[in-house]
Structures are given as C-alpha cells and as structure tokens.
Amino acid sequence: MEGTAVRGRLTWQTATVGSVTDETPKVRTLVLEVPDWPGHRAGQHVDIRLTADDGYQAERAYSIASAPGEPLALTVERLDDGEVSPYLTEDVQPGDQLEVRGPIGGYFVWEPAFGGPLLLMAGGSGVVPLRSILRRRSSAGSAVPVRMLYSSRSLEDVIYRSELDGLRDAEVIHALTRSQPPGWTGYARRVDAQMLAEVAWPADSKPLAYVCGPTSFVEAVAAGLVGLGYPAVRVRTERFGATGQ
C-alpha cells in the first residue's frame, strides 16, 4: 500500500530490524519495521541514526532498496574505515533498534508517469536506488523501456545479481573493472565515452537518465551523456561518498 508523502518537518521514528540478507561479502540488506512508515517513492533515501549506550550518536543516509509498497529495505556497503557501515553489515541482528527519518528526496525519484526510455547508470553501491526504480517499474507493470549499465569491481561485488539476471524486460549490462571471471566477454574496464556510446539510448529517443555512485563515476558518466546529446535536465545525478573502484 502506498502511503501519502510526508510533508513538513521530519521526525525520527524507531525502527526494528526485521531481517538481514547478505548480498555480497561486503554488502547487506536490512529490512526495517517502522510502525508509522508513510511509504516512499522509488529513488528516495532515509537518514539512519544510531545511539550508543554512552549517548554517542551517529547519523548516515542510505538509499531505499525496496519499491513503494514493499517493506522498507536498505542495502548497506561495508566501508573498511567506517563507523556505521561495519555495524550495520556485521553486528546488527533482527530485533535491534535504530532510528529512521524519511523518506527524503524529491529530485532523484522516478514514477512510471515520468516515462522514458530509462537509462540507469550504477557505480558500485549506486545500484541501490536504481534497483528501487526497477522494482517500481515492474510492480507497476510499466512498459517503459529500460537499460541499466552497472559498474562493479568484480562479479562477486555485483549486488542483486540473480534478481538483475532474472529481469525479462530490462537489459542489464555489467562492466567489471578490476577482475573478471574466466570466459568473461562483457566490459572489463571503467565506463568511458566509447562504452556510453554503445550502451546509452540515442539522445533523439528523449531518454531519461539516472546516474548514481561515487562522485568520480557520476561526474564522468553525466558529462559523457551530455556529450552524447542528453539535455542536462534529463540526466539526474546522485553522488555517494567516493569509495573508488
């Protein structure tokens, strides 16, 4: 059930961890139970706040991985030097509590009514909000054409791999930048102008692009798409902290 968007001031709500699923060795999805969750739009995020028993608090923002109408799910990548992500990806157990604020975001969102064709460009954990968009499209039965280019370090780092492989009406093209399995015939390098030219919908089809990932990825891809003739206003960007690839 899709709730109404929250207007006005956000408040922190207590969330209970419902289940955890390891997506890759460094990435975990948490499903959160929030009693008064108002629903969300595909592409939005939430702020998470953790409180230690000495009162210390840490806040971070995480994209929502689930589609509107599905239980609230976040997918978190463990950053080696992090303070919050190691806790969320290794220590947290079902039943643990944290605080959530949201949903947040009115720019990096997609609804079926926005149309397409859709070009989703994911760098590493930037795939998370794009997966929400894919699930939204599927659950709405939308026929908007969609193509995703997903750049990861290696096959083991691909998040939602079987789900993406199983999409029948969406094309997902992988670029593995650091190592490839034997026999790999796909892209084996970082996204560049040549790759964009081969993958992107032609500009005259009036595509809508969503680019998400580390800052360096987003800037290179967004500039590349504008270089292919995409109007800047049709290229939506969301930069994560640059983990680099």
Partner 1 sequence: MSPISRGFHRKRQEAPAGRVPPGQYVTADFPVLSAGPTPHTPLSEWSFSIAGGREPRMWSWEQFRSLPSQTLTTDIHCVTRWSKLDTMWEGVSLDVLLGAVEYDAGYVLAFSDGGYTTNLPVADLLGGKAWVAFGYGGSPLGAEHGGPARLLVPHLYFWKSAKWVRGLRLTDTDMPGFWENYGYHMYGDPWKEQRYAGD
Partner 2 sequence: MGTPEDRDVAPDDPALDYAALDGNAIGGLLIEVFGTEMTTAVGICGHCGAVGQVAELAVYQPGLGTVVRCRSCDAVLMAFVRIRGVTCVDLEGLASLS
- The SS3 of residue 38 is coil
Judged by beta carbon distances under 5 to 8 A according to partner kind, the member of partner 1, partner 2, none in contact with residue 104 is: partner 2
Q: Which DSSP string do the residues of 91-125 spell out, in sequence order? A: I--TT-EEEEEEEE-SSS---GGG---EEEEEEGG
If binding is defined by CB under 8 A, does position 9 make contact with partner 2? yes
176 binds partner 1 (CB under 8 A): no
Query: Smallest distance from the beta carbon of 58 to partner 1, in angstroms?
Result: 7
Strand order in the sheet with 45-51: 57-63, 45-51, 97-104, 13-24, 27-33, 73-77
Residue 90: CB minimum distance to partner 1, A? 10
β-bridge mates for residue 100, sequence order: 13, 48
Q: Which is nearer to partner 1, 98 or 200 (CB)?
A: 98
Interior/surface letters 188-204, b for 16+ CB within 10 angstroms, e for the rest: eeebeeebbeebbbeee
85 binds partner 2 (CB under 8 A): yes
Q: Using CB under 8 A, which of 107, 168, 183, 185 touches partner 2?
A: 107
83 binds partner 1 (CB under 8 A): yes
By the rule CB under 8 A, 14 interacts with partner 1: yes
Per-residue mark of binding to partner 1, 38-77 (x: CB under 8 A): -----------xxxxxx-xxx-------------------
Query: Cis link prior to 117 (omega < 30° from 0)?
Result: yes
Q: Is 87 in the site for partner 1 (CB under 8 A)?
A: yes
In the complex, which residues of this chain contact partner 1 (CB under 8 A)? 12, 14, 49-54, 56-58, 81-83, 87, 91-93, 96-99
